Amino acid sequence: MTYSANSYFRQLPDLDYPSLKNDRKSVYDYEIVKNLFKRAVVRDDVFGDMVNFTKYSVEGDERPDEVAYNIYGDAALDWVILTTNNIIHVRDEWPMGNQDFLTYLNEKYTSQELSNIHHYETKVIRDSRQNLIQPEGLYVESNHSVTFTDRGSTYTKSEITSVSFLEHETNLNDAKRNIDILRPELLDVFLRDISDIMQYKDSSQYLTDNLKRTQNPRIISP
């Protein structure tokens, strides 16, 4: 299998690993494999400075590789999109497309369950001076109310709205559509940083910057 020069697997360093092949001659036979335990991480000073990122809304069935192509001109840089958003489990953390979302709902709920109330949320309440009394979107009980004083008078209001299971699931999926995009002009710096992170440090297992030897204690001599 071959990989694009910018693909995530090309960034991973190698392991000189004891061969698991049936025809190996001894426990000292090794073969080179990718070190899947190495993980790319974003430097704190880069991730912490939001000026390095722009906001992006994932549309419809758009996949990480499609976003990478649209932004960086290379679909193989989908791992940059995922890494900079700290997404590890794409299936759970990337927004579902329309058909996948419908399938997910049908497998999890009945039609009746989807229309049932999942929870209640607050609506905005302001006094006559437009001071905020109650923010929007707080999870509350169905009997929630708030009491406040406005121009010498006391008021008690119950401003809430019900959220169905369908609305709740839709909101959760839509929230995943809001991601951060590393500015294209910073991509080369990011790739150099990742290359440095992926290099091995000097140790008893060190062979080269991109290769170290490891052992499998379960392998015994045939």
Tens of pLDDT along 7-49? 544 554 454 455 555 555 555 555 545 444 455 555 555 555 5
Average pLDDT (175-185) is: 95
Query: Do residue 84 and residue 131 come from a single domain?
Result: no
Place 2 in a pLDDT band, splitting at 50, 70 and 90. Answer: very low
pLDDT in tens, 55-107: 999 999 999 999 999 999 999 899 889 988 989 889 999 999 999 999 999 99
Condensed to tens digits (0 to 9), the pLDDT of residues 155-174 reads 999 999 999 999 999 999 99
- Looking at the fold, whether 126 and 86 belong to one and the same domain comes out as no
Please list, residue by residue across 46-67, b when 16 or more beta carbons sit within 10 angstroms of its beta carbon and e when fewer do: ebeeeebbeebebeeebebeeb
User: Dihedral sign, CA of 92, 94, 99, 102?
Assistant: positive
- Whether 137 and 187 map to the same domain: the answer is no
Structural domain for 19, as ranges: 8-95+178-213
pLDDT band for position 115 (50/70/90)?
very high
On whether both 189 and 164 belong to a single domain, the answer is: no
Looking at the structure of the chain, the number of domains it has is 2
166 and 198: one domain? no
Q: How far apart are CA 90 and CA 119, in angstroms?
A: 27
